[in-house]
Amino acid sequence: MGRKSKKIKQKPIIGIFCEGKSEKQYLTMLKQKYRSTNVKIEIVDAGLSGKKLVEKAIKSRKHKKFDAVYAVFDRDDHKKEELQACSKLAKTNNVNIIFSSIDFEIWILMHFEPVFRRYTRPELVTRLSKEKYFNQDYSRFKGNSYRSYIFDKVENAMNNATKLYKKNSNWIEDDPFTNIHIYLPRIFDIK
């Protein structure tokens, strides 16, 4: 009599499309941390609008047969109307939007401390450059590996983002804002 095969549940294939090297480096660190070989991360042209990023995710989902897709971007110069159109397009096509305002670095800062006030991009770079954070010019660091700085601080960021989200939960209107903490458990099967 032959052996019975064990039915091992396949992990969904996940596609993540981001606009920059920082986002890719960060998500790659998590992919390694949580051993998520089912997660595929791709940088789409850094200059693309959120809508173009969502369109790329839609096209790739069909072509590459992803079970779930995510578009990761920040406020940049997006106007409210653009973000609303982006939201509608994403919902219609089952694309999840991971968004930070004003910049992805608001999420990076949350690995070190709670964030409740608005920062400009230069303020974020200055703050993250300080000794207790990255201890170097963060603008030159961007796009490098986060592993030795925040690998063990993801839970901090999740907790800090949850606190912020209780006050600021409207991704189109609020600043500061991030919803990364909502999607990371789904993407990386974090309990």
* Rg of the chain (C-alpha set): 17
Prediction pTM value = 0.91
**pLDDT tens digits, one per residue of 12-32:** 999 999 988 899 999 999 999
The SS3 assignment for 118 reads: coil
Which one has a higher pLDDT value, 124 or 143?
A: 124
Provide the pLDDT for residue 3.
55
Instruction: Check residue 13 and give its pLDDT.
Output: 94
Write down the domain spans for the chain: 14-188
Which CATH code is given to the segment(s) 14-188? 3.40.50
Cα–Cα distances in angstroms (integers) from residue 24 to residues 2, 17, 20, 43, 124, in the given order: 45, 9, 7, 7, 19
Tell me if 118 sits within 8 A of 175, measured CB to CB: yes
**How many C-beta atoms surround the C-beta of residue 63 within 10 A?**
9
d(C-alpha 31, C-alpha 54), whole Å: 21
CA 46 and chain centroid, separation: 14
Residue that has been written with the tokens 């999840």 in this structure: 96
Q: Which residues pair with 69 in a beta bridge?
A: 15, 95
Mean pLDDT, rounded, for 175-190: 95
pLDDT in tens, 147-171: 999 999 999 999 999 999 999 999 9
Q: Can you give the pLDDT at residue 9?
A: 74
pLDDT at 6: 66
pLDDT digits (tens, 9 = 90+) for 91-134: 999 999 999 999 999 999 999 999 999 999 999 999 999 999 99
pLDDT of residue 2: 55
| Max Cα distance, the chain (Å) | 69
Weakest mean pLDDT among 9-13, 14-18, 138-142: 9-13
DSSP 102: S
